Amino acid sequence: MPLGCCPLCTEEVKELQESHYISAGVYRIAGRDCHPVVMTPEIFLSTSKQLKDYLLCSDCEQLLSKKGEDYVIPLLWRGGNNFPLQDLLKSTKPLGFGRNGSLVFSGPIVGIETDKLAYFALSMFWKASVHSWKTLNGQVVSSSLRSHEEAVRKFLSGESGFPSGILIKVSVCSDPLSQGVVFPPHEWTNEIYTGYEMTLLGVCFTMVVDVKPGAIDWELCCVNSSDRIIFFEDCSETSRNHYQDLRKNARIAKNLKM
């Protein structure tokens, strides 16, 4: 294994491990019965190939696993009606309804450690920002956090608390379309905010940056809202829009054609 600087602990001479762009546990679920479909702006292809590269040292790999992945991966959709996180919500009374008719739950009441959901989400968005990942046909993907990258790194490494100005919204997807897909981190903007989003086997994670103190949007956050809330909603429109954005110029590989 090569020696280099680990971007999380920032120690300059560390033995670097193979790190996954999308957590290896997600690949194992998605490829359990067949090769998962990898979607890039150039090609849609069924393949067992995983996006990985030498990035983090062993200690930092273990840190991200212990504080996020080990908790979150077992909660994701696992095929059919096997969706542990959804089952937890369905067994609990919601607090009420969200702005778009979604059901709103309190993480602590449900028994969900929303801090770990947020840590996992930030680790994924951060890995997409600090490294250019090579996909199929030599494509390179990344999603820069720009001025927020260092604050997120310090939080993940334990050097500081939850980064200011950032909220994490977690939506458990009720629709089958979103339960069966993996959409990696991508950036979006609207007239108010810049944000980042990904959908992993039935859970949509949204990160919004530069949220002002006192803004009503803090009540969307699974960490800083008063009830540490988590949403249960139909995410099919979001998943469909993301799929269509990727599909605009991509070709379909032969192994996906009938």
Which tens digit of pLDDT belongs to each residue from 225-242?
Answer: 999 999 999 999 988 887
Segment among 97-111, 160-174, 176-190 with least mean pLDDT: 176-190
What pLDDT was estimated at residue 70?
97
- Exposed e or buried b per residue across 172-187, where buried means at least 16 C-beta atoms within 10 angstroms of its C-beta: bbbbebbbbbbbbbbb
**CA–CA separation, 181 vs 202, rounded Å?**
7
Average pLDDT on 14-27 reads 88
Q: Closest Cα partner for 83 from 160, 172, 196?
A: 172
| β-strands 43-46, 37-39 pairing | antiparallel
Whether the predicted pLDDT of 36 surpasses 70: no
Q: Closest Cα partner for 198 from 173, 223, 216?
A: 173
What pLDDT was estimated at residue 48?
54
Average pLDDT on 24-51 reads 64
What pLDDT was estimated at residue 254?
66
Whether the predicted pLDDT of 205 surpasses 70: yes
CA distances from 207 to 37, 123, 194, 219 (A): 25, 11, 9, 13
**CA–CA separation, 51 vs 182, rounded Å?**
13
pLDDT tens, position by position, 62-104: 999 999 999 999 999 998 899 999 999 999 999 999 888 899 9
The DSSP secondary-structure symbol of 73 reads: G
Segment among 33-37, 93-97, 190-194 with least mean pLDDT: 33-37
Tokens coding 195: 């944000």
Number of domains making up the chain? 1
What pLDDT was estimated at residue 37?
56
CA atoms lying within 13 Å on the CB side of residue 227:
14
Whether the predicted pLDDT of 44 surpasses 80: no
Segment among 129-138, 190-199, 235-244 with least mean pLDDT: 129-138
The residue range of the domain holding 23 is 3-256
The torsion angles phi and psi of 243, rounded to 5 degrees, stand at -60, -45
The DSSP secondary-structure symbol of 35 reads: P
The DSSP secondary-structure symbol of 44 reads: E
**DSSP string for 186-255:** EEEE-SS-EEEEEEETTEEEEEEE-PPTT-GGGGG-TTTSTT-EEEEE--HHHHHHHHHHHHTTPEEPGG
Whether the predicted pLDDT of 136 surpasses 80: no
Tokens coding 171: 């939506």
Contact 56, 16 (CB under 8 A): yes
**CA–CA separation, 169 vs 207, rounded Å?**
6
What pLDDT was estimated at residue 258?
41
Whether the predicted pLDDT of 181 surpasses 90: no
